[in-house]
A and B are shown apart, each in its own frame.
Chain A
């Protein structure tokens, strides 16, 4: 594996698992918690964020030698805000019902700290291709956590999955689990439900990491075997 591949691999592992923006860095929690009442809402906002992050990071990396250091933050915000406006108008035009549901959270991508964090911490110091890949991986790390929280909250809270999918693909419809008569556990849909589900996911992430570490240690002690491969997100 050449140097380029190793870096790409590391960016992937960091974004999706080791430095996951939602589970480890705890950045961008406002949309994570507010919009994750259903799978479709969560994934759509997540993907919109990924698009903004990728273009913003690449653009900043390209312009990194041109932007004056002293005023870099306003410049970053301007670039991000311009991109968010484009995404906002596109969503309004092509997915209008979804746009109405997501409401203020689409424009608020501008203030999502994970976007600015990646731009400031990574894109402003690295090559455009790495910056774009880093933004993609960090964004996807946010998306899979958002998707999981959305799915869990939707299943527990109202007993459906993929509610609202008809806003994106008109011929599809939501799956109703446990029959028509069952009522959901409303707490999962309310704001506390978001915190509780996120808490359980963070705990699961910590437990898996601890277990992995313990296993690696045991193997290293038993024999001088190579370190265990990362089981999740490592197949870049």
Chain B
């Protein structure tokens, strides 16, 4: 039993960002084991570019450079963007994404703490509307590393060695009249639960996210509400029309689901801080993800869902202010 007074450990941006980077490492290690070292080159390129763009824009805006680039926030954005993109996208696409994320979505809006939208998701959305083909070619565990390097370097090559994500594959097939059960397990895209290889990286995201939750870096209700809502919705849809909708485990263990649940919607700047509002924010994001995945045009709905909820965040916060002790009920 510890008695008061307590001494609180100082919480700094650098510390929080450092923990987030650490929590991403299991997923990165598994990614390298399954798909080879191309991801490391992407991470290196994105990290260097992110710090360079951040430093350049801070210098242009006459803001302190060193304290802002040593807070690791640019690295978190860079790593999240790289992990959201297929590891085999050409280098210039990653670079362009970093310029949009750090340059436009973060610094032009006023730098850390000022951005209304999640920078990594802004960049992802800009890239997916502009380069849909590049962003729907995900490497498979069987994709040769040499091909992945060629793709990263942007040399023209056949694109038969990579494929769409599980959800994208399923949706395309359902749209062309095939049943889900005909597809599950019959294509190299599928693993045990969801995408081959990617399902285990999703588990690593889950593990890293639980670490962040235990350390008190992220509130547990955000990923919980997100996964719960997505799970309930996909279960209901699957029970009603099993031939049209993917089973819930495919949704929940999809790579982008776990990344979003623990690392994207938990962004405190573009998200919601009121406790009740966080339930609304996460559940709303999950609902939009489900709708966009099934009825949308693009391979995955996470980026658009998060951006739409970012737009709604100030309003959600306004409507969910906690009652101050002693204040009357409205």
**Which A residues have a C-beta under 8 Å from some C-beta of B?**
183, 185-187, 190, 196
Q: List 7 A-B contacts (CB under 8 A).
A: A185-B96, A185-B130, A186-B129, A186-B130, A187-B129, A190-B129, A190-B130
Chain B residues lying within 8 Å of A190, measured Cβ to Cβ, are 129-130
User: Considering the chains assembled together, what is the distance between the CA atoms of A161 and B129 in angstroms?
Assistant: 22
User: In angstroms, how far is the closest chain B Cβ from the Cβ of A122?
Assistant: 35
Within 8 A of A (CB), among B89-141: 96, 104, 126, 129-131
The 3 residue pairs across chains A and B that have the minimum distance between CB atoms: A186-B130, A187-B130, A187-B126
Work out how many contacts link A and B, with CB atoms closer than 8 A.
12
Chain B residues lying within 8 Å of A183, measured Cβ to Cβ, are 131
| Secondary structure dominating the interface of B | helix
User: Considering the chains assembled together, what is the distance between the CA atoms of A183 and B133 in angstroms?
Assistant: 12
User: Considering the chains assembled together, what is the distance between the CA atoms of A196 and B105 in angstroms?
Assistant: 12
User: Considering the chains assembled together, what is the distance between the CA atoms of A196 and B100 in angstroms?
Assistant: 12
Taken residue by residue from 65 to 95, chain B's Cβ proximity to chain A (1 for < 8 Å, 0 otherwise) reads as 0000000000000000000000000000000
Chain B residues lying within 8 Å of A185, measured Cβ to Cβ, are 96, 130
User: In angstroms, how far is the closest chain A Cβ from the Cβ of B62?
Assistant: 13
Chain A residue, CB-CB nearest to B127: A187
Chain B residues lying within 8 Å of A186, measured Cβ to Cβ, are 129-131
User: Considering the chains assembled together, what is the distance between the CA atoms of A183 and B96 in angstroms?
Assistant: 14
Since A186-B129, A187-B130, A190-B130 are in contact, a sample of 9 more A-B pairs with Cβ atoms closer than 8 Å, ordered by chain A residue number, is A183-B131, A185-B96, A185-B130, A186-B130, A186-B131, A187-B126, A187-B129, A190-B129, A196-B104
Chain B residues lying within 8 Å of A187, measured Cβ to Cβ, are 126, 129-130
Chain A residues lying within 8 Å of B129, measured Cβ to Cβ, are 186-187, 190
User: In angstroms, how far is the closest chain A Cβ from the Cβ of B96?
Assistant: 7
User: Considering the chains assembled together, what is the distance between the CA atoms of A57 and B147 in angstroms?
Assistant: 64
Chain A residues lying within 8 Å of B130, measured Cβ to Cβ, are 185-187, 190
| Residue with the highest number of chain B CB atoms closer than 10 Å, among A186, A187, A196 | A187
User: In angstroms, how far is the closest chain B Cβ from the Cβ of A151?
Assistant: 19
User: Considering the chains assembled together, what is the distance between the CA atoms of A187 and B99 in angstroms?
Assistant: 14
User: Considering the chains assembled together, what is the distance between the CA atoms of A187 and B128 in angstroms?
Assistant: 9
Within 8 A of A (CB), among B129-168: 129-131
Chain A residue, CB-CB nearest to B126: A187
Chain A residues lying within 8 Å of B96, measured Cβ to Cβ, are 185
Within 8 A of A (CB), among B31-53: none
User: Considering the chains assembled together, what is the distance between the CA atoms of A190 and B126 in angstroms?
Assistant: 10
User: Considering the chains assembled together, what is the distance between the CA atoms of A186 and B129 in angstroms?
Assistant: 7
